[in-house]
């Protein structure tokens, strides 16, 4: 637990607290841009249609992208400031999102409810991550897809917030993996994701047919 706490506490600031993210998202413009994550865009044609849940969605760039593709999309985050911007972004594009403001720790994603779940740079503490990831397959409908990209730190294990794809795949029970890889790439996603970063990318499906 100490390692988990130290990984998110720097200079006395808790980066898992809504207040930290409210302050970031209250800045002018969009912290991570308005365009979808590159990996989500890359795999979009492989995703089923229907109901999408975007976990730790922030200001709505990925949820809006899925809504543009005709999905009924729910944007979930614990920052009310971010979600207001997500609603505004969708409205600018003539779209509507379902907004859900809550913490991952108290969130019930249901059973067999979603056709697509995304988690793009959502990096919860390890205990919460393992509990959530063990449930995600059951939250998807048969044939449903999970799209995940997250920061990776070298040699990070399961007690880190930033492990690589082998650790994450072991935690994502009940899914078939179409893509599971670690790589170093250049991010161009607003002012806070601008530069070289090592990430894990996962595309996985719940077995079965929709």
Domain positions in the chain are: 2-205
Tens digit of each residue's pLDDT (9 = 90 or more) over 71-81: 999 999 999 99
Tell me the pLDDT band of 4, cut-offs 50, 70 and 90.
very low
The arrangement of secondary structure in 2-205, i.e. its CATH architecture, is 3-Layer(aba) Sandwich (3.40)
pLDDT at position 1 over 50: no
- Encode 72-83: b = buried (16+ Cβ within 10 Å), e = exposed: bbbbbbbbebbb
Calculate helix-pair angle for 80-92, 61-68, nearest 10 degrees: 30
User: Could you give the CA distance from residue 163 to residue 198 in angstroms, rounded to a whole number?
Assistant: 11
Predicted local confidence at residue 40, as pLDDT? 98
Tell me the pLDDT band of 106, cut-offs 50, 70 and 90.
confident
pLDDT at position 10 over 50: no
Contacts of 14 (CB under 8 A, 6+ apart): 8, 20
pLDDT at position 85 over 70: yes
Tens digit of each residue's pLDDT (9 = 90 or more) over 126-180: 999 999 999 999 999 999 999 999 999 988 889 999 999 999 999 999 999 999 9
Residue 145 to residues 11, 140, 177, 187, 205, Cα–Cα distance (Å):
38, 7, 10, 23, 4
Residue 202 to residues 41, 68, 81, 145, Cα–Cα distance (Å):
13, 22, 28, 10
Cα torsion for 92, 119, 38, 36, to the nearest 10°? 0
Average pLDDT, whole number, for the chain?
90
Predicted local confidence at residue 26, as pLDDT? 84
Q: What is the DSSP string of 65-94?
A: HHHHTT-EEEEEES-HHHHHHHHHHHHHTT
Predicted local confidence at residue 154, as pLDDT? 86
Which tops the pLDDT comparison, 18 or 102?
102
């Amino acid at each position: 637990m100490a390692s988990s706490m130290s990984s998110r506490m720097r200079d006395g600031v808790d980066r898992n607290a809504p207040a930290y993210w409210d302050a970031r998202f209250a800045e002018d413009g969009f912290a991570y841009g308005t365009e979808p994550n590159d990996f989500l865009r890359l795999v979009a044609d492989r995703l089923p249609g229907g109901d999408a849940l975007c976990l730790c969605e922030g200001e709505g760039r990925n949820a809006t992208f899925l809504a543009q593709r005709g999905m009924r999309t729910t944007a979930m985050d614990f920052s009310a400031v971010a979600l207001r911007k997500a609603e505004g972004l969708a409205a600018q594009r003539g779209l509507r999102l379902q907004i859900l403001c809550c913490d991952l720790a108290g969130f019930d994603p249901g059973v067999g409810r979603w056709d697509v779940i995304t988690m793009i740079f959502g990096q919860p503490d390890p205990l919460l991550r393992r509990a959530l990831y063990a449930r995600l397959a059951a939250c998807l409908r048969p044939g449903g897809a999970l799209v995940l990209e997250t920061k990776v730190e070298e040699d990070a294990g399961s007690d880190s917030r930033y492990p690589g794809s082998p650790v994450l795949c072991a935690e994502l029970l009940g899914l078939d993996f179409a893509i599971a890889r670690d790589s170093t790439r250049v991010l161009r996603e607003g002012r806070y994701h601008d530069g070289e970063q090592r990430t894990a990318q996962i595309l996985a499906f719940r077995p079965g047919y929709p």
